[in-house]
With several copies, the nearest count.
Chain A
Amino acid sequence: MSPDSEVPYIEAIKAALQDAMRADETIVLLGQDISAGFPFGATRGLAQLFGEERVRDTPISEAATMGCGIGAAMTGTRTVVEVDFAGFLLLGLDQLVNNAAKLRYMSGGQLRVPLVVRVGQGPFGSFAAQHSQSQHAWLAAVPGLALCAPSTAQDAYDLLRWALRAGDPVVFAEDMRLYRRRGPLRRAAREGAEHVGESAPPARLSALDVQEDVPRARVARTGRDATAVCYGFGTTIATQAAAELSAQGIELEVLDLRLLSPLDEAAIGESARHTGRVLCLGDDPLLGGITGTLAAAVEERAHGELSAPVARLGARHVPTPFGSREAFVYPSAESIVRAVHRLVAWPAPAQAQELEIEHGELRMAPG
């Protein structure tokens, strides 16, 4: 692969798995139909390269597979468990939350669980309510897990390489809408050399004292008028919206969080203070979802320096409907454009009045 070729996100994931498995012989992959690379191709060909001992097709036993991954990880075999759709993660959630995330703590530090769980997120393929869901707040809220939500092919590669060096469990949330999107990819020449960008020094990110280097948030596009705080597919549509807004003379800064736990609140505060107007984007519902945490972080880090109330755009509070109607439930470039228009117009007299009547006006569902 030449350094500057554009590859799909899913290929970047495969490249990361392949390079990491080459660098670290302990790595084992577990998942359904992974030797065939079904359904999205993330593991296609890896069984041929590394053998079926390391690329193991599992039965449809999500709970035991997760538990098996944990047991192997805690005794020296770094494990990657693949869960194709968010909906199926629920079956292994007891193992992930009660065991993977807590074993180190409960054992007084004796056990470490270097497990990576790759899980598809978001709506994709019109598979309806049970397949399509977003679990970012859920997973971020579990002490003992880190949560990656990469938005580009390069980040998919770099963050997965990083996750595969971490000493503790990482959930790798892959927005399925990104799988086919292409982007430049530079693979690491040697172990540890990938481009995670600026990495936080051992520091207090969010509520957590972290000893390891953690990739920081990244300004994906600079702007002066407003900030979109986003991750995963949100970064894609925010960037699209930014281009459209720019043509209208509005410069939207796009802050790509990359990780949701630990959360780079310092970067959120910085961008919020810079633009003074912030839109927090998420794919889970506004009630209980990640946008609440992001908005609170903005307020806490930029209080008194905002020119408009923090706006949120999340999923409608409905299960995902079947078919292309799913798009109706989630934020889009269009709904971002609309939200930013209102943010930058604040406090336009008409709207100010509207807000007097109906508080919470700037808390938006898409459409």
Chain B
Amino acid sequence: MSTETSSRVSPLDLYARMALIRRFEQAAYRAYERNEIEGTVHSSIGQEGVAVGVAFGLRESDRMLSHHRGHGHALAKGVDPRRLMAELFGRATGVSSGKGGSMHATDLSCGFLGSLAVVGSSVPLAVGVGLAARRAGEGAVCAVYFGDGAVNQGIVYESINLASIWSLPVLFVCENNSYAITTPAERVTAGEGIAARAATFGVGTLSVDGQDAQAVREATERLADDARAGRPGLLECHTYRFLGHSRSDPAHGTYRAREEVERWHERDPLTLLRLGAGLAAESCEELEHEAQTRIEDALQFARDSPRPSLEDLEKDVWG
């Protein structure tokens, strides 16, 4: 058990961060609908338990890589919502100077190495980050997210194998929300699923309820400790995205039945934590209010920020 983390994490901390993510995502989505945000916005509403559970199960010095649905991961790891929102708005004050956008936010200052848009492609990077950390004697773990859709990208298995033969401090996190855009996981994923698959590559695996932030955090701690000791691991979190994949598809009605969506709404990670940990309603409301204030501030910050100059756009290519 990683006492460094568990001791300092209270359920209220978890709740506060989940509330922050929820408000951020809601605000971003609305801004996107108002065309204030260009490109696309992949919302993680409904999946906050995973983001917060994993981030709080890691040490601050640990690293993280994410994918196209990464706002929650970033915020949970400590990225400033103002600078993340500014990035979504494509502003020069954004974490990636407004050149990356929603799918390419990086903030080295808190170990959030970045999100990548090509499904599965951040996974091998984590292996290299683990290799560098091991060579530097840092004891830092690199956690990398991918979805149920990514489990059919071969590079995921190549990466798990590499981490396994080299005993690297890597934690593979599969955020299984049952769909890749419109495609149900079971229709395109044969056999026993990612955890069973990964186990045959010699890594430790756990499958947990992703709506239960505490369970995610505990599983993360266990696997991260093992990873630090040289046994990489894979954590599968069962969760659900409450909204559509992006703007173009509705939350339900086409590929997902209304009942299914409603069933999952009953398993909202914020509610589950509040009830499970017996948090006082007022405390939660207060935290939500705080989150709301921070996000409004973040929105204002983003709106007020300038876009990158044309000169900036030619910078940071090579040399």
| Chains A and B directly touch (beta carbon < 8 Å) | yes
Could you tell me which A residues sit within 8 Å of B by CB distance? 26, 28, 32-33, 35-36, 38-39, 53, 56-77, 79, 87-88, 91, 94-95, 98-99, 103-111, 125-131, 143-146, 166-169, 202, 208-212, 214, 262, 316-319, 321-325, 328-329, 367
Shortest 8 CB-CB distances between A and B: which pairs?
A71-B128, A67-B124, A108-B97, A322-B101, A64-B158, A59-B152, A71-B125, A323-B90
Is B114 an interface position by the 8 A CB rule? yes
Q: Is the CB of B132 within 8 A of A75?
A: yes
Q: Is the CB of B255 within 8 A of A59?
A: no
Interface range on chain B (Cβ under 8 Å from partner): 35 or more
Given contacts A59-B162, A63-B158, A323-B98, contact A68 B188 (CB under 8 A): no
Query: Contact string, B47-76, partner A, CB cutoff 8 A, digits 1/0?
Result: 000000000000000010100000000000
Q: Is the CB of B114 within 8 A of A107?
A: yes
How close is B102's CB to chain A, nearest CB, in angstroms? 8
Given contacts A60-B180, A61-B158, contact A69 B128 (CB under 8 A): yes
Q: Is the CB of B187 within 8 A of A57?
A: yes
How close is B165's CB to chain A, nearest CB, in angstroms? 7
A-B contact number at CB 8 A:
269
- Tell me, in angstroms, the Cα distance from A65 to B123 when the chains sit together: 11
Q: Is the CB of A106 within 8 A of B131?
A: no
Is B96 an interface position by the 8 A CB rule? yes
Interface residues of B in 161-201 (CB under 8 A from A): 161-162, 165-166, 180-183, 187-189
How close is B221's CB to chain A, nearest CB, in angstroms? 23
Given contacts A67-B155, A321-B99, A322-B90, contact A106 B114 (CB under 8 A): yes
Could you tell me which B residues sit within 8 Å of A by CB distance? 38-40, 63, 65, 90, 94-101, 103-104, 106-108, 113-114, 116-121, 123-133, 135-136, 142, 149-150, 152-155, 158-159, 161-162, 165-166, 180-183, 187-189, 248-249, 254-255, 307-308, 310, 313-319
How close is A287's CB to chain B, nearest CB, in angstroms? 12
Q: Which residues of A contact B315 (CB under 8 A)?
A: 109
Pick from B129, B136, B249, B313: contact of A38, CB below 8 A.
B249
Q: Which residues of A contact B120 (CB under 8 A)?
A: 60
Q: Is the CB of B128 within 8 A of A76?
A: no
Q: Which residues of B contact A71 (CB under 8 A)?
A: 65, 124-132, 142
Kindly report which residue of chain B lies nearest to residue A102, judged by CB atoms.
B104
